[in-house]
Structure 1
Amino acid sequence: MLTALDDAAVGQWCRAAVEALSGSRGRLDELNVFPVPDGDTGTNLLHTAEGALAALDAAGGGESAWPVLARGAVLAARGNSGTILAQLLRGLADQLTAQPPAEGPAFAAALQKAAEGAYAAVADPEEGTFLTVARAAGETAVAAVADGRPELADVVRAAADGARVALDRTPGQLAALREAGVVDAGGAGLCLVLDVLVRTVTGFEPVRPALSLPEHHHRHEHAPHQPPPGPGSEVQYLLADADEAAVERLQQRLAALGDSLVVVGVDTPTGREWNVHVHVADVGAAIEAGIEAGRPHRISVTPLAPVRHPDPVPGRRAVVAVVHSDGLAALFAAEGVRVVVCGAGGVTEDDIHAEILASGGEEVVVLPNDAGLLPVASRAATRARETGREIGVVPTRSPVQGLAAVAVADPERRFGDDVIAMAEAAAATRWAEVTVADQEALTSAGRCHPGDVLGSAEGDVVVIGPDLASVACDLLDRLLSAGGEMATLVVGEDDELGATVCGHLSSVHPTVEVVRYGGGPSSLPLQIGVE
Structure 2
Amino acid sequence: MGIQTIDGALLKKMLKEAALNLDANKKTVDDLNVFPVPDGDTGTNMSLTMQYAVREIDNIADGTVSEVSASTSSGALMGARGNSGVILSQLLRGFAKGCKGLKELDIQNAAQALQYASDMAYKAVMKPTEGTILTVARGMAEFAMSNNESYIDMESFLTDVIKEGKIILDKTPDMLKVLKDAGVVDAGGMGLLFIMEGALNALTGKESTYQQPEIEWDKPVEDRIESYENITFGYCTEFIIIGNNDETVRDQLAVKFNKLGDSIIVVGDEEKIKVHLHTDNPDKAMGLALEIGSLTRIKIENMREQVQNRTVEKTTAKSVKPKKYGVIAVASGEGMKRIFEDLGADEVILGGQTMNPSTQAFIEKIDHINAENIIILPNNSNIILAANQSKQISKKNVVVIPTKTIPQGITALLEFNPELQPQDNQDLMEEAAGEVKTGQVTFAVRDTSFKGRDIKKGDIIGISEGEIVCVGNNPEEVCDELLKSMIDEYSELISVYYGEDVKKESAEDFISSLESSYDQMDVELHWGGQPLYYYVISVE
| TM-score normalised over the length of structure 1 | 0.50
Structure 2 match to 1:504: 513
Structure 2 match to 1:460: 467
- Summarize the Cα distance change of 1:361–1:448 in structure 2 as closer, same or farther, 3 Å threshold: same
- Summarize the Cα distance change of 1:430–1:391 in structure 2 as closer, same or farther, 3 Å threshold: same
- Of residues 357, 371, 386, the one that matches 2:381 is 371
- Of residues 431, 435, 442, the one that matches 1:435 is 442
| Aligned 1:464-503 pairs, distance under 5 A | 464-481=471-488, 483-493=490-500, 494=502, 495-503=504-512
Q: Shift of the alpha carbon at 1:314?
A: 4.7
Q: Shift of the alpha carbon at 1:73?
A: 8.0
- Of residues 326, 330, 335, the one that matches 1:327 is 335
Structure 2: gaps (5+ residues): 5-10, 33-42, 70-92, 117-206, 225-238, 240-262, 276-296, 302-309
Structure 1 match to 2:213: 273
Q: Shift of the alpha carbon at 1:350?
A: 1.1
Q: Shift of the alpha carbon at 1:400?
A: 0.7
Structure 2 match to 1:356: 366
Rg (Cα) greater in structure: 1
- Of residues 173, 182, 203, the one that matches 2:112 is 203
- Of residues 346, 357, 381, the one that matches 1:347 is 357
- Of residues 40, 51, 62, the one that matches 1:132 is 62
The 8 Å contact of residues 96 and 113 in structure 2, kept in 1 or not, is answered as no
- Summarize the Cα distance change of 1:506–1:393 in structure 2 as closer, same or farther, 3 Å threshold: same
Q: Shift of the alpha carbon at 1:509?
A: 1.5
- Summarize the Cα distance change of 1:275–1:445 in structure 2 as closer, same or farther, 3 Å threshold: farther
Deviations 1:68-104 (A, max 9, x none): xx9998765656x73375xxxxxxxxxxxxxxxxxxx
Structure 2 match to 1:523: 532
| Aligned 1:154-165 pairs, distance under 5 A | 160=65
**Are residue 423 (structure 1) and residue 395 (structure 2) matched?**
no
The 8 Å contact of residues 331 and 406 in structure 2, kept in 1 or not, is answered as yes
Alignment partner of 2:427: what SS? helix
Q: Shift of the alpha carbon at 1:524?
A: 0.9
How many matched pairs? Answer: 325
Alignment partner of 2:357: what SS? coil
| TM-score normalised over the length of structure 2 | 0.50
Partners of 1:474 and 1:442 lie apart in 2 by 20
Structure 2 match to 1:28: none
Q: Shift of the alpha carbon at 1:397?
A: 1.1
The 8 Å contact of residues 324 and 341 in structure 1, kept in 2 or not, is answered as yes
Partners of 1:402 and 1:468 lie apart in 2 by 24
Aligned amino acid, residue 520 of structure 1: G
- Summarize the Cα distance change of 1:445–1:301 in structure 2 as closer, same or farther, 3 Å threshold: closer
Give structure 1 regions of 4+ aligned residues with deviation exceeding 6 angstroms: 46-56, 70-75, 161-164, 188-191, 204-207, 277-284, 290-293, 299-302, 307-312
Alignment partner of 1:131: what SS? coil
The 8 Å contact of residues 322 and 368 in structure 1, kept in 2 or not, is answered as yes
Q: Shift of the alpha carbon at 1:192?
A: 5.4
Per mean C-alpha deviation after superposition, the further-off stretch among 351-360 and 328-337 is 351-360
- Summarize the Cα distance change of 1:4–1:488 in structure 2 as closer, same or farther, 3 Å threshold: farther
Structure 1: gaps (5+ residues): 6-13, 19-43, 61-69, 86-121, 123-128, 135-159, 165-187, 208-264
The 8 Å contact of residues 83 and 275 in structure 1, kept in 2 or not, is answered as no
The 8 Å contact of residues 370 and 399 in structure 1, kept in 2 or not, is answered as yes
**Alignment RMSD, CA only?**
5.0
The 8 Å contact of residues 95 and 113 in structure 2, kept in 1 or not, is answered as no
Structure 2 match to 1:225: none
Aligned amino acid, residue 438 of structure 1: V
Partners of 1:456 and 1:502 lie apart in 2 by 19
Structure with larger RCO (C-alpha < 8 A, sep 6+) = 2
Aligned amino acid, residue 495 of structure 2: T
- Summarize the Cα distance change of 1:206–1:527 in structure 2 as closer, same or farther, 3 Å threshold: closer
Aligned amino acid, residue 329 of structure 1: K
Structure 1 match to 2:419: 412
Q: Shift of the alpha carbon at 1:376?
A: 1.2
- Summarize the Cα distance change of 1:365–1:76 in structure 2 as closer, same or farther, 3 Å threshold: closer
**Are residue 451 (structure 1) and residue 458 (structure 2) matched?**
yes
Partners of 1:453 and 1:206 lie apart in 2 by 44
